[in-house]
Amino acid sequence: MTRPPAGARLLLDAVGRRYGDRRVLENLDLEVEPGSFVSFLGPSGAGKSTLLRIVAGLERPSAGSVELRGTGPEPVTARMMFQEDRLLPWRSVENNVLLGVGGRREEARALLEAVGLAGRGGAWPAELSGGQRQRVALARALLHQPELLLLDEPFGALDAITRIAMQQLVERLWLDQPRTVLLVTHDVEEALVLSDRVLVLAGGSVGRDLRIDLPRGGRRGHPRLVAWKEEILQGLLEPASATKGAAREKAGTRPTTS
């Protein structure tokens, strides 16, 4: 199935970000097609969240440029979702969805229904499970009909089963309403199951750029997906063992086996 182009196009040109002497991103070029689902993997500290914050406009790059092109002349609407749900405990579920927006109760209720929380608008966040709270956070992001949805490890705190349910929900909503999605995750399988494209950040830039051309729906357990997963995991493990090996050589020590 070919999806109609929708959502924002993202163009990063030689983006760099440093904190003091520390270069986190360097000379990063990237073009993301409108309506595509792109995931970012990489070792801890590789700059995945930094990149997302830069795309969201929450942080400025130290070098290079970021361009977002929407479907119309208006500025691109982007919304971000985090590992923490960031719900306000003193507001009802529905009023959390409507945060900063007035008078769109019908839409908020329809969205709560779409995320599997029909009739729970009057509940307090504390009355919901972690997965349900993330559903509210998703509904809140979608109320703004973003052309760009930025997901920073949004299922990281959820148990394995809830996590898969959330992945399926996000995929279904994305298929229903095309928009560009950027997902930062540590879960290689999650990235491969959900994405059109998986990017592995390394050394401040894009190390690997994989197009996942498997049909959706039956990806989990597919031999090609399993092979990609192994290959990516190996690549993520290698820099660490190479560094340790180099450190040992320098120190003149041998690895211990116990």
Ligand X SMILES: Nc1ncnc2c1ncn2[C@@H]1O[C@H](COP(=O)(O)OP(=O)(O)OP(=O)(O)O)[C@@H](O)[C@H]1O
Cα–Cα distance between 158 and 154 in angstroms, integer? Answer: 9
| Contacts with 43 (C-beta within 8 Å, 6 or more apart), sequence order | 202, 236, 239, 240
Q: In the range 50-69, which residues lie near ligand X by CB under 6 A? A: 50
180-184 and 37-41 strand pairing: parallel
Q: How far is the CB of 228 from ligand X (least distance, A)?
A: 20
Which residue's entry shows tokens 């349910």? Answer: 165
The minimum distance between CB 48 and ligand X, in angstroms, equals 4
19 contacts ligand X (rule: CB under 6 A): yes
Residue 34 or 204: which CB sits closer to ligand X? 204
- Binding segment (CB under 6 A) for ligand X, from list 2-10, 37-45, 101-109, 139-147: 37-45
Q: Name the residue nearer to ligand X (CB basis): 42 or 154.
A: 42
Determine the size of the site formed for ligand X (CB under 6 A): 10
- Does position 48 interact with ligand X (CB under 6 A)? The reply is yes
**180-184/148-152 β-pairing:** parallel
Which distant-in-sequence residues (6+ apart) come within 8 Å of 28 by Cβ?
Answer: 12, 14, 15, 16, 51, 64, 204, 205, 206
Segment near ligand X (CB under 6 A), from 44-52, 61-69, 168-176, 222-230? 44-52
Residue 46 near ligand X by CB under 6 A: yes
For ligand X, the binding residue among 45, 75, 122, 245 (CB under 6 A) is 45
Residue closer to ligand X by CB (options 147, 189) is 189
Instruction: Report how far residue 24's alpha carbon sits from residue 163's, in angstroms, rounded to the nearest whole number.
Output: 29
State the alpha helices, DSSP H only, in 4-119: 48-56, 93-97, 105-114
**Binding residue for ligand X, selected from 34, 42, 61, 154, defined by CB under 6 A:** 42
Give me the least distance between CB of 63 and ligand X, in Å please: 15
| Under rule CB under 6 A, residue 111 binds ligand X | no
Across the strands, what pairs with 69?
9
Q: How many CB atoms lie within 10 A of CB 161?
A: 9
Please report, as ranges, the residues that interact with ligand X according to CB under 6 A: 19, 24, 42, 44-50
